[in-house]
Amino acid sequence: MTSANALPSALPRLAAVLGIAVFAILPTAGLPAFYDSFFYIVFFWISLSTSWALLSGFAGYFSLGHAAFFGVGMYTTATLTTQFQVPFLATVPAAAAVAALLGIGIGAVVFRLKRLRGELFALLTLAVTFVIATIILNTPIDGGAGVFMSAVPMPDIMPTQTGTIYVLGFVMCAATLAIAWKVAHSRLGMGLFAIHDDEDVAEAKGVPTFRYKMAAFALSAGIAGAVGGIHAMYVGFLTVGGTFELTVPLYVVLMSVLGGSRHWFGPTVGAAVITTLLYAFISGGEAMIGRAIVGLILIVAILWLPDGVVPAVQKWFRKRKASETEPAASIVPVVTAPARPVGERTILEVRGVTKRFGGLQALDGVDLDVREGEILGLVGPNGSGKTTLINVISGFYPLSSGTIAVDGAQIGHLPAHEVAGRGVARTYQIPRPFVNMTVLDNVALAATFGGPVRPAAEVRDEAVHWIAFTGLAGKEQALPAELNLHERKFLELARALAARPKLLLLDEVLSGLNPAEVDNAIRLVRAIRAQGATIVFVEHLMRAVVELSDRIAVLNEGKLFALGAPREVMRDPRVISIYLGKAYAA
Amino acid sequence: MPSATLLGQALISGVLAGGMYGLLALGLSLSWGLLRLVNLSHFALAFLAAYIVYDLGTNYHVAPWWSAMMVVPAMFLIGVAQHWLFDKFKVNELASLLITFSFAMIVEAGIQLHWTADYRRFETHYSTWSLRAGPFYIPVLELVLCIVAGILAWGTWLWLRKTYVGKALRASAEDADIAAAFGIDHKKLAYLLSGIGAAYAGVAGTFIALIATLAPAQIWAWLGVVFAVVIIGRLGNPLGALFAGMLIGASESLAMAVLSPAWAPVVSFSVLIVILLWDPDWL
Amino acid sequence: MIDRMGAWPRRRVLAGMVGATAALGAPAILRAAPSGKPVRVGGTLSLTGFLAQTAVVHKIASEIMVEEINSRNGFLGRPVEYVLLDDQSKPDVARSLYEKLITVDKVDLIQGPYATAPILAAMGVAQRYGKVIIQSSMGIPKLQTYDMAFPATPFGPNPDQTYPNVILDAMASMPTPPKTIVILTSKFPSAQFMAQGMREQSEKRGVKVVLYLEYESGNRDFGAIAARVKEANADFLWVGSLGLESNQVLEALRKLDYTPKNSFHLYPAPGPLALSPDAKNALCSTFLEPAEPFMSRPGVARQAAAYKERATKANLPYAIIDAQAAGMISEWQILEAGVNGAKSLDDKAIAAFLKKNGADTIYGNLRFDGPYNHGTAEQLIKQVQNGEWKVVWPAKYAAPGVKLIGS
């Protein structure tokens, strides 16, 4: 969501400033106090749903436990004010801190476990809510009697109590939105969006997924805690049932979905709409019909705008811009780069690498050296361990034993994002672009996390360069779904290159291409090597392997079977036999 | 330390209560797992069925199994109609949450308009019948519910595993495009599945009418626990849903027998959390 | 009309009587109906959400009372208009809606909502704007800290001490007075509050508490709890229940083939419990039932009939007037007494009048001069006899011929 804003950039900024100013001075406008309360409630839901979306919308870790953080915040404030006479304002940061700690605690355990994604994460957060609610119910924190808050003195920020609550809610909301905006436009946000689309690929591109998820979760929980702390004063009497009921976790999801959960402003729209709707039908005479009407409106809204309001508005603005002609991906210009001599430095050093999956030995002691500037072809029958070797080198699988060094640095036991940081990039046999990000954003992400920290404009230029290099010029604003297979494969390459890797691992980049596209790709691989990269590529298409490789390594049953110049290796009868059976070897 | 009789009775009671969770979870699990649609209106439909069974039984003295025979097919049609809407508008998983929630709101409002918010209890003379097995009592209605739930769960599981239609559905759920390439008509299957899920809601509703007391707000009372059951049992796995329901019911009940009953959710959900962290595949 | 002769000048009474006689004799001539700008009384009720099942009772009672008040003199001769909003069973919504009623709709007076949490939320608003607030369903009087809040139901200032003794008295009067008691309670604030009091008072009076269990409100499965209750097998079962929990407990016990010797239920829904086949002779708390001596209180018979008619028309399964409806009736009677007595719509004047004079209500004469503005406790015990609720204790409130059935 970084560069795709089609509005003139001055307008949203102006609107934001105006909005903040108007709402900041609203309580002094002399409106009846009810409006202070009503807007407080709107701010309340905006803060809650936006904080939920920080992790669940941006990163896709669907949490059903937002009530846990909200409730913990509420009860922290309640306990500190009523049992320890701490002034109310001082308890709000405490509430945020306790909730954030809870989030960090949960995340520290859960985010390390790959299998706890998707619904299992939702379940876990739901279970945590039940546990916390029950603990609070059965201990002196609440104990079942409820906590009576009306006697706690309110700070004197505004002349009226409702005015004060309004200001607190407004400040909280503004702060939350500022945080959401900042996250969405920062490296953290970029990483979270990538995690949403494909966490493993994000990690492979250098995104420190664990750290980022923790940061998002801590922010999300902390904000919810602070909101809860303030709300304790609003409600006046806390009960466990009322605090931890399913309304909070459910409504924040609905509001985010309605507004668009991947956009920092989406939940705001959803929260404002739903809260206003719920207050529109409060008359005692039509209470039930009112709820039915609200339900109907929501159904119509989401059927019409399935991705949410904000994305729909964005799409509309984008369509209004003159749509450029979409040139087909051009053939990569022939780079008559001189054949670079292979250097002396060993870029990749693989020693005794084994990889076991339970009882299956996928790699059985592989030794390999690849020199700087070399193109090494990696071939072998199906199941010989080629992709496993790539996965192990790139850090996707941990080693069972052995060592791997890239340009002298040991990477064998590093997490994938740190391997990426050491100059290793890979592509996937079936392209795995970030489906909700444009081509430009896909490549820019790789450039951001694969290179040194630099201003966004520089990153953008670099991305554009690599997009052109791979022949995708003109497709920067396209979404991956709009590309054909050939273009998507080249997007994989552009992404890999944007990190300026020392070592590039290509996994069957030619499969599925027609002969003209194959020639194009071969030219491209050569051009990449001319830039100074070392390439290890897995391939089945023999003519390409022979044409491109300086050397060929043959894997069979997890072991290095043969290694040498292409023509020799391919004529070796043992190699032929493992492909076609002994009868052909003669 | 509680007696063995007490523990045994608590276990029985919990497993049977879990049967209801499992029955409710069945339809939800199918549509979530195989259609990628989170159907929050499942509960509302179950209660709608329950209210109708109650109404027919109390006002027209129709026996519940006859009512069920009318209500369950009606629910099937509602499920098909719902899916028509989802299909026509190409609704994704997140959007389905919002739509079905709104639909549930509408059904709840409709129920309250017609039957009021006041409690309604379908009184039958057999509601407190129990079988005796040694020192233990096994309530008959709950037992029947568990048997029915078991049959439905096992039958669905067999259907999904063994028949062409079942395999086709699972294939479509994994990769609809490839399945279509093999000639599997995803659309028709999805309608069937949606209808079945709603029909199961109807079955659950019949038992809710017999066992529980009805109030419109009760629609939301089961949401949390049934969600947990659906996920634990693995999406799309009918036997898993039933087993998970009984697991949660039993652990809650045993906790209530040993500790202060108000602590029970901590125990059952802590056990759950530990299992999830240790190895969810064990479930 | 409520008997307040002593407070009125003789002249007025005479005029009133003449007018009334004339009215009776000439039905074609309209009585002096209240006229002019309506007095708007604002309030919320939980018309949707989990409190809705009882709020509907309050709504019907309010409608009856507003009509009744308008058939008399209204408020100071002006008709009363009840501006009712739905707080969706949520205290934060209740709070904001009371602010709307007071600051936007600018109602003249307010009426309280239903249930402790919304009441406390509304009370905060009332306090900030100096409005009188009358409520009838908050079971924890010590939380009513606002000086101009008035309880319409005679809980008394500390019901957790007084009411258990009423129950214990009843127990002591049984043929075989219970010596052991099982206390089972929901962890809902008002129920838990009373359960703790029951435990304390039982122990003080030598009744042994053999089992004390708390369950979370919203508990679904009572099987294990029933097994523990059955095993304890005490002489008396006290359940701090709300809504349907009593039905669930009794049913769960019957499934184990166990009927408690005596059982008491705190705040269950009266209809379902009376109709339950497992609730024979179950005891329950109440403040009023439609029988003597309550029916001969002024206006009660008519209110009970009106309630029955409207509740039936509204399709409620249980159409008999009960303590919840009576509480709302009492709320309106107090407001009417306060307004017409103070001859003013000014909240301070109304509050002062009520504090000084109390009010005559369906519960008799209520006074507001005790702690938390609560007067004498008048919480009673009713029993299911032949499918109907009958007040049985204290004996003076039992209808002639009705007695507490104990085992």
What's the per-residue H, E or C state across A407-426?
Answer: CCEECCCCCHHHHHHCCEEE
Q: What is the mean pLDDT of residues B138-165?
A: 89
Chain pair B-C, CB pairs under 8 angstroms: 133
C250 and C386 share a domain?
yes
pLDDT digits (tens, 9 = 90+) for C115-173: 999 999 999 999 999 999 999 999 899 999 999 999 999 999 999 999 999 999 999 99
Residue C1: is its pLDDT beyond 60? no
Q: Give contacts of C 19-78 with B, CB under 8 A.
A: 47-50, 52-53, 55-56
Contacts of C145 in chain A (CB under 8 A): 150-151
Closest by CA to A58, choosing from A175, A187, A169, is A187
Considering only A10-24, A37-51, C308-322, which range has the smallest mean pLDDT?
A10-24
B160 at the C interface (CB within 8 A)? no
Picking from A378-382, A425-429, B199-203, which range would have the lowest pLDDT averaged per residue?
A378-382
Give the pLDDT mean for A391-418. Answer: 89
Q: Are residues C369 and C385 in the same domain?
A: no
| Domain count within chain C | 2
Q: Look at residue A326 and tell me whether its pLDDT is greater than 60.
A: no
Share of chain A above pLDDT 70, in %: 93
CB contact under 8 A, B119 and C272: yes
Chain A interface mutation, best of B37, B97, B102, B116, highest count of A Cβ atoms under 10 Å: B102
Please give the distance of CA A60 from its chain centroid, rounded to a whole number: 7
* Nearest-neighbour CA in chain B from A117: distance (Å): 11
User: Contact A123/B227, CB-based, under 8 Å?
Assistant: yes
Q: Which of B118, B130, B260 sits opposite C53 (nearest CB)?
A: B118
Closest B-chain CA to A247: B220
**Does one domain contain both C389 and C365?**
no
Whether residue A116 and residue B265 make contact (CB cut-off 8 A), yes or no, is no
pLDDT band, very low/low/confident/very high, at B183 (cuts 50, 70, 90): low
Of A417, A441, A499, nearest in space to A184 by CA: A441
In this model, does residue B175 exceed pLDDT 80?
Answer: no
Q: Which of A115, A127, A258 sits opposite B228 (nearest CB)?
A: A127
Burial of C284 (0-12, 13-18, 19+ CB in 10 A): buried
Whether the CB of B95 is below 8 Å from some CB of chain A: the reply is yes
- C-alpha to C-alpha distance for A458 and A534, rounded to whole angstroms: 25
Same domain, C240 and C386: yes
Residue B115 · residue A319 · CB < 8 Å: no
Q: Where are the beta strands (DSSP E) in A457-572?
A: 503-507, 534-538, 551-556, 559-564
> For residue C145, with 0-12 CB atoms within 10 Å meaning exposed, 13-18 middle and 19 or more buried, which class applies?
middle
Neighbouring-strand partners of residue C214: C185
Residue A197 CB coordination number (10 Å)? 20
Element (H, E) at B131: strand B130-133
C190 & C263 share domain: yes
- Per DSSP, the three-state class of A25 is helix
- Residues of chain A that touch chain B, judged by Cβ-Cβ distance less than 8 Å: 64, 109-110, 113, 115-116, 119-120, 122-124, 126-128, 130-131, 133-135, 137-138, 144, 246, 250, 253-254, 257-258, 261, 288-289, 291-292, 294-296, 298-299, 302-303, 306-307
The answer as to whether C1 is a domain residue is no
Q: Which of B115, B128, B254 sits opposite C254 (nearest CB)?
A: B128
C-alpha dihedral (C138, C139, C143, C148), degrees to nearest 10: 40
Q: Which two tokens stand for residue B31?
A: 């549509």
Determine the Cα–Cα distance for residues A446 and A440; give it in Å rounded to an integer: 10
Length of chain C equals 407
Whether chain B has a CB inside 8 Å of the CB on C224: the answer is: yes
Q: Which residues in chain A are contacts of C102 at CB distance < 8 A? A: 33-34
Does the residue C34 lie in any domain? no
pLDDT in the model for residue C6:
42
Q: How many CB atoms lie within 10 A of CB B159?
A: 15
If contacts are CB pairs under 8 Å, which of residues 75-94 in chain C contact chain A? 83-88, 90-93
Distance, in Å, from the CA atom of B263 to the CA atom of B255, rounded to the nearest integer, reads: 7
Q: Is A521 exposed, middle or buried (0-12, 13-18, 19+ CB in 10 A)?
A: buried
Instruction: Determine whether the interchain pair A237/C103 forms a contact, defined as Cβ–Cβ distance below 8 Å.
Output: no
Dist. CA A240–CA A243, nearest whole Å: 5
Instruction: Work out the pLDDT band at C7, boundaries 50, 70, 90.
Output: very low
The backbone region for A145, taken as left when phi is positive above 0, alpha when psi lies in -120 to 50, beta otherwise, is alpha
| Contact present, A447 and A498 (Cβ < 8 Å) | yes
Q: How far apart are CA C347 and CA A93, in angstroms?
A: 39
Say yes or no: C232 contacts chain B, CB-CB below 8 A.
no
Q: What region does A581 belong to: left with phi over 0, alpha with psi -120 to 50, or beta?
A: left
d(CA C72, CA B105): 41
Nearest residue of chain C to residue B2 (CA atoms): C228
Quick check: is C5 in a domain?
A: no
* Domains of chain A, start order: 31-245 (no CATH), 346-584 (3.40.50.300)
Architecture per CATH, B4-278: Orthogonal Bundle (1.10)
Distance, CA of A262 to CA of A54 (rounded, Å): 9
Q: Identify whether the C-beta of residue A425 lies closer than 8 Å to the C-beta of residue A499.
A: yes
Q: Do B91 and A306 touch (CB under 8 A)?
A: yes
Measured CA distances, A537 to B146, B173, C66 (Å): 57, 34, 86
Which of B274, B269, B273 lies closest to B252, judged by CA?
B269
**Closest CB to C86 among A41, A242, A284:** A284
Q: Are residues C231 and C251 in the same domain?
A: yes
Q: What is the pLDDT of residue A265?
A: 94
Place of tokens 């010989």: A384
The verdict on a CB contact (< 8 Å) between C224 and B254 is: yes
Q: In this predicted structure, what is the pLDDT of residue C9? A: 47
- Long-range (24+ apart) CB contacts under 8 A made by A284-287 are A284/C44, A284/C45, A284/C47, A284/C59, A284/C83, A284/C84, A284/C85, A284/C86, A285/C84, A287/C47, A287/C48, A287/C86, A287/C88
Query: Mind telling me how many Å the CA of C65 is from chain A's nearest CA?
Result: 17
Q: What is the rounded average pLDDT for all residues in chain A?
A: 87
CA distance B116 to chain C (A): 7
Mean pLDDT within B253-275: 89
Average pLDDT, chain B: 88
- Residue B229: enclosing H or E segment and its boundaries? helix B223-232
* C-alpha to C-alpha distance for A368 and A505, rounded to whole angstroms: 14
In C163-192, the residues whose Cβ lies within 8 Å of chain A are: 187-189, 192
Query: How many CA atoms, within 13 angstroms, populate the side-chain half-sphere of residue A450?
Result: 29
Which residue in A64, A135, A295 is closest to B106 by CB distance? Answer: A295
Q: Does C123 touch chain A (CB under 8 A)?
A: yes
Q: How many CA atoms lie within 13 A of C172 on its CB side?
A: 11
**Chain A residues within 8 A of B37 when measuring between CB atoms:** none
Inform me whether the pLDDT recorded for A325 exceeds 60: no
Residue B25 above 60 pLDDT? yes
Chain B nearest CA to A332, separation (Å): 32
Percent of chain C at pLDDT > 70 equals 92
Complex-level ipTM beyond the 0.90 threshold: no
Out of B128, B217, B253, name the one closest to residue C255 (CB). B128
The separation between CA A513 and the C-alpha centre of its own chain, rounded to angstroms, equals: 30
Q: Identify which of A551, A502, A540, A554 has the alpha carbon closest to the alpha carbon of residue A375.
A: A551
The mean per-residue pLDDT over the stretch C98-122 comes to 94
State the pLDDT at residue A585. Answer: 45
Residue type, B152: L
User: In angstroms, what separates the C-alpha of B33 from chain A's closest C-alpha?
Assistant: 11
| pLDDT at site B34 | 84
- Are the beta carbons of C116 and A145 separated by less than 8 Å? no
What is the signed CA dihedral for A496, A498, A501, A507, rounded to 10 degrees? 10
User: How many C-beta atoms surround the C-beta of residue C275 within 10 A?
Assistant: 16
> What's the domain range around C246?
159-286+380-397
The pLDDT-based confidence of A337 (bands split at 50, 70, 90) is low
Confidence band for B224, pLDDT divided at 50, 70 and 90: confident
Helix axes A247-259, A66-84, angle to 10 degrees: 130
Q: Are strands B136-139 and C39-45 parallel, antiparallel or unpaired?
A: unpaired
**Is residue C15 situated within a structural domain?**
no
**Contact between C92 and A144 using a beta-carbon 8 Å cutoff:** no
Count Cα neighbours of C189 within 13 Å in the Cβ-side half-sphere. 22
pLDDT of residue A399: 87
pLDDT at C167: 95
pLDDT-derived band at B279 (thresholds 50, 70, 90) equals low
Distance CA A68, CA A324 (A): 49
Residue in A160, A165, A235 to test binding to C, most C beta-carbons within 10 Å: A235
Residues C245 and C389 grouped into a single domain: yes
Evaluate if residue C26 carries a pLDDT over 50: no
What are the pLDDT digits (tens) for A342-393?
A: 777 888 889 888 888 888 888 888 898 998 888 999 988 887 888 889 999 9
3-state secondary structure of B162: helix
Q: State the SS3 of A149-161.
A: CCCCCCCCCCCCH
Model confidence at A285: pLDDT above 60: yes
Say which of C116, C120, C216 has its CB closest to residue A150.
C120
The tens digit of pLDDT for each residue in B98-121 reads 899 999 999 999 999 999 888 888
C72: domain CATH number is 3.40.50.2300
Identity of the residue in C59, C97, C189 whose CB atom sits nearest the CB atom of A282: C97
| Torsion angle of C-alpha atoms A414, A417, A421, A422, degrees rounded to 10 | 30
Mean pLDDT of A437-455: 90
**pLDDT tens for each residue of C207-222:** 999 999 999 988 888 9
Residue B116's closest CA among B51, B175, B181? B51
Beta bridge partners of C133: C149
Same domain, C267 and C384: yes
C385 and C308 in one domain? no
Task: Determine phi and psi for A314, rounding to 5 degrees.
Answer: -60, -45
Exposed/middle/buried for C177, CB within 10 Å: 0-12, 13-18, 19+? middle
Q: With CB atoms and an 8 Å threshold, state whether B257 touches C224.
A: yes
Closest residue of C to B125, CA-based? C277
Q: Residue A540 CB: number of other CB atoms within 10 A?
A: 14
DSSP line for A315-345: HHHHHHSPPPP-PPPPPPPP-----PPP-SS
The domain locations on chain B are 4-278
- C256 contact residues in B (CB cutoff 8 A): 9, 130, 137
Query: Concatenated DSSP letters for C110-178?
Result: E---SSHHHHHHHHHHHHHHT--EEES--S-GGG---TTEEESS---S-HHHHHHHHHHHHHHTSSS--
